[in-house]
Structure 1
């Protein structure tokens, strides 16, 4: 998320372009400076956070992973790690996983819950919002769910991906903890990418700071790309309690 600035003309001088951007971002930062707490992850395309620094904001560097050239699948295959290629082949040949698009949202949310349980995390909040997002993306033909099933009809893994012309984005996914050895998650992601190439040539894994997830993204041959997490202020104990209480009531 974060600021969006329209593209400049091709003949713009860098010094003029940078100065104009800093004025715009400075005006935005000044409108946010009064907030007690502000936290947002900026898009990786925002490379200058100085105007926010000047207004007292803080920055933490995080990473996403980007793939370009979806319409050249042979090149992506070559750049994958051997482990990812082995998982794809194993899922398809040994476990006979079949990948389907447009799987039911209930099945996807169910397998996502299993992933949270395996990681000993609380069940994800906002499932109603997720269902609505899936429905709207499908209506607009700008997002869908892919799932990998075995011959017995068991769902091994699923991914929810959305797209627009400039990029696709991996929003959520999950896998059955008892069936992880099949390598289905890699196969589902690979098959989804090949279909998404009809809409865009770029793919954003959306990043993760969790070691296992980071490795999964990186081994598809995606390029590590930094982005800024911008923040200001800190919640006091009372406000943290109120937020925690509101979440329990959801």
Structure 2
């Protein structure tokens, strides 16, 4: 049995593997033949893994993030009752073995899960790190307290939207994509993923029962905003959303997010706004009282040609 086959078996039973590292998610966003995984075993059990997605651009071989996938990175099965010093030793040993298994690429680039706070073994092997941020509501147990932590503008938008809109669940992915794409067309930007690509994610998430599609509609059945939610054992993720530019002042997105947060409290532990590095988006999601949480982007360029190009671009700046 190959590492990949063993990993598929692990994903069937190990709930602590994040949704974006699950085999079925990688099948959907990369294709079954375009990803692989490095594993470390003990007593015939996988205790560490690092999935990666392969691609080629021109003459360059790349290991990087697939679309609509927030994080990859290592997963470890920690021994129970570890002291902190022993935990760090375990991480060093496992990460070192995973790094040894990474195949050659001209560029390696992955976002690591926010739970990973130790990237030193990667630094020692020549990798670089950039800190990125998402916003997280970390405890969904007290939903009333969460609402109280919203900024006044968010609460006002929700109350305004509740007067004229209702939230419905839908499985109409074509209609969802149409509204989602309006967000990009308003900015004269091509939607960075196709309808067929989103349908692959939808099919996989529907089979694995870990998604909701919400529409905010008015009495005329006009769709004001849409939201696509996915979740795993630890987090619910605001994966995709969008609003009709002509109706975007109705408060519909605030209402949708509040509805998604309430639902998420019934299926998981925390709500992740899924990356907030763009200033207007950061300002909006910060209004929900979420905590700023760092996560690491880990990269390494092996191609001398690309290294020279990067150095030249830095000099120009």
TM-score if structure 1 supplies the norm length?
0.88
Aligned 8 A contact 1:113 1:124 in 2: no
Matched with 1:45 is 115
Q: How many residues align?
A: 235
Equivalent residues in 2 for 1:18-33, closer than 5 Å: 18-32=88-102
Q: 1:234 Cα shift? A: 7.1
The alignment partner of 1:156 has SS state of: strand
For structure 1, the residue ranges without an aligned partner over 5 or more in a row are 241-250
Q: Does 1:178 align with 2:178?
A: no
Distance 1:126 1:58, change over 3 A: farther
In 2, the alpha carbon distance for the partners of 1:78 and 1:45 equals 27
Contact 2:78 2:87 in 1 (8 A): no
Match of 1:225, SS state, is strand
How far did residue 130 of structure 1 move? Answer: 1.4
Once the two structures are superposed, residues 77-124 of structure 1 have per-residue CA deviations (whole angstroms, 9 ceiling, x without a partner) of 11111111111111112xx11111124111110011100112222222
- CA offsets 1:158-179 (integer angstroms, 9 cap, x no match): 1111112222111111111111
Alignment partners' CA distance in 2, 1:154 and 1:78: 30
TM, length-normalised to structure 2: 0.70
1:227 aligned counterpart, secondary structure = strand
- Aligned residue for 1:189, secondary structure, equals helix
1:243 — aligned with what? none
**How do 1:156-195 and structure 2 match up within 5 A?**
156-195=224-263
Which residue of structure 2 lines up, in the alignment, with residue 9 of structure 1?
Answer: 80
- Rounded to whole Å, the distance in 2 between the matches of 1:172 and 1:227 is 20
1:118 to 177, 186, 199: 186
Distance 2:150 2:171 in 1: 27
What residue number does 2:53 align with? none
CA distance in 1, matches of 2:268, 2:191: 32
Decide whether aligned partners of structure 1 residues 69 and 14 sit closer, same or farther in structure 2, where only a CA change above 3 A counts.
closer
For residues 129-163 of structure 1, the C-alpha deviation after alignment (integer angstroms, 9 at most, x for no partner) is 21121122223321021110011111111111111
Alignment equivalent of 2:275, drawn from 207, 217, 226: 207
Structure 1 CA distance for aligned equivalents of residues 302 and 195 of structure 2: 27
Deviations 1:173-202 (A, max 9, x none): 111111111010010111122122221131
Q: Distance in 2 between matches of 1:79 and 1:156?
A: 25
